[in-house]
Amino acid sequence: MVNPSIVFAGLAPHAPILIPGVAGQRLEAVRQTVDAMRTLSRQVLAAGPDTLVLISPHSPRRSNAYGIWRTERLHGSFQAFGAPDDRVDLPLDSKMANAIAAAARLQGLHTWPIQEAELDHGALVPLWYLAQAGWQGPTVILSLSQHHDESLALLGKAIATATIQLGRRTALIASGDMSHRLTPSAPCGFHPTAHSFDETFIDLVRQGRYADIGRIDANLQANAAEDVVASTLIATAAVGGSSQGHQVLSYEGPFGVGYGVAVLFSTVTHAVNAPAGYAHYAELPQLARRAIREHWEADTAHPPLPISGELAEPGCVFVTLHDARGELRGCIGTLRPCEANLGRETWRNARAAAFNDPRFIPLSQEELPGLRISVTVLGALESIPSPHELDPARYGVVIRTADGRRGVLLPDIDGVETVAQQLAITRRKAGIGPDEAVELQRFTVQCFTEATPEV
C-alpha cells in the first residue's frame, strides 16, 4: 500500500568529487551525474515536501541500532576535501526524528542519537544539491546499523508510520554509491564482477523491481564494495515497494565508482527536465549488454525503455565484444542507419555482434559476465582524395571498389600505427588486393567502453 504522506523517494550518490568546489576541472568527467543531481533536487522540491528524510551509509554506526542525528542544526562543509566554502546548514525536524524513533521501537528496532559536530559526506553531498535547488526545510538524517538484514524493511515501515502520524508531506533520499571496484585505479581496487553488480542494480531500478534488489547475490555485493543497497531498501520499503513515477536519471563510473541517480517514487505527474530510459552516449555499453542478455530472457526486438536525449537521433554504431582474456569475440556495425535512433541501432548491432558475427560461434550465456563491451559512435563519412588525409589514431577508414566490395576499420586500434598498416588490414578484411583501385572515406568516432575484466 502506498503511503499518502510520502510524496517522493530518490537515490543520490555521495562522492565529494561531485561538488564543483572539490572537483575543479574534473567536474566535466562527472557532468552526467551533476546534471542528474540537479534534476533530482528540482523534482524533490516540485513534490512540495514539508520534511526531508535522508539515509546515509557513512553516518556513524553502532551494532544492532540505527542512528538518528539529533543536533539542532544539521551542518557541515567540504573543508576536508579542499572546499571549505561549500557548506550545508539545515534545521533538524525533531518531531519527525522522535516519531521515527518511536515507530522503530514498535517494530522491535533500536535507535541511538548521533551528536557529532559535522555531517558526513554521505549526507552532505545530496543535501548540498538540495540546498542549491532551494531546500531550507526541516530535515532528518538516519544512519545504518552495522548488522541490519531484514530490519531494513522494518525501518522503512517505521518511517512510513511516522510520516502518517505527523501528517507531514515527506521526501526520502537514499544516499549510496554503487561499485567501488570498477577499474584498477578505483578506491577499493579492481574486481572483474564489480560492473555486473552495477548493471544488475541499475537495471532493477529501471524496471522498478525493488524487492529483487534485496535478492542480489551477497558475494556480488561484497565484490563490488557497494554501499547503496541498504539505504535503497529502506526508502523503497517506506513507499510500500511502489515504483510510481520511477526513472533512472543517469549512471556513470568515470573514477572507478558507480554513480547512479534515480527517482524511486514520485507523486509528481510531470517530471522536471528528466530524461527517461536511455539518453546518453555513455549508457550505450549498458544498453548493448542488456540487448545481449535479453536475447535469452525476453528476446525483445527493440529496447524496452524509452530512448531520448542524444540517443534519439538516427546514427551509426559499431559494437565490439572482447572476452575475459581480452580477445576479440565479435564486432558488427553500420555505416548507414538501419534503425530510427542510436538506441535501437545499438540494440540491433549488439545482438548481431554476439550471435551473428560469421567469424565466431554465437556467444554463450556463460560468457556474458566476463564480456567487455565497447560501443563506437561514428561521425559523418568524408570522402578523401588520398591516403595522406588519413591518421590511424584519429580517423577510421572505409575503402570501396567499383564492384561493391567494402572494408571498414575503426581508428585507434592497438598495433595499427601507420596508414599503410591501416589500409593493408582493411583491404584484407574485404578481400581487396593490395593494388586494386579503391575510393577512400574517413570518419571520426566517440568510443564508450566498459571496464576491462581481469582473469
In order of their start, the domains of the chain are 6-274 (3.40.830.10), 283-372 (3.30.700.20), 382-447 (3.30.1490.150)
Distance CA 408, CA 427 (A): 9
Q: What is the per-residue pLDDT for 215?
A: 94
Among residues of the chain, what percentage have pLDDT more than 70? Answer: 95
* Phi, psi for 138 (deg, rounded to 5): -65, 140
Of residues 394 and 297, more confidence is placed in 394
Cβ count within 10 A of residue 93:
23
pLDDT digits (tens, 9 = 90+) for 204-216: 999 999 999 999 9
pLDDT per position as a tens digit, 394-430: 999 999 999 989 999 999 888 899 999 999 999 998 8
Report d(CA 448, CA 431) in Å as an integer. Answer: 29
C-alpha cell at 11: 537515490
Q: Quick one: pLDDT at residue 2? A: 57
90: left (phi over 0), alpha (psi -120 to 50) or beta: beta
Say if residues 115 and 105 touch (Cβ distance below 8 Å): no
**Model confidence over 132-169: pLDDT tens digits?**
988 999 999 999 998 777 799 999 999 999 999 999 89
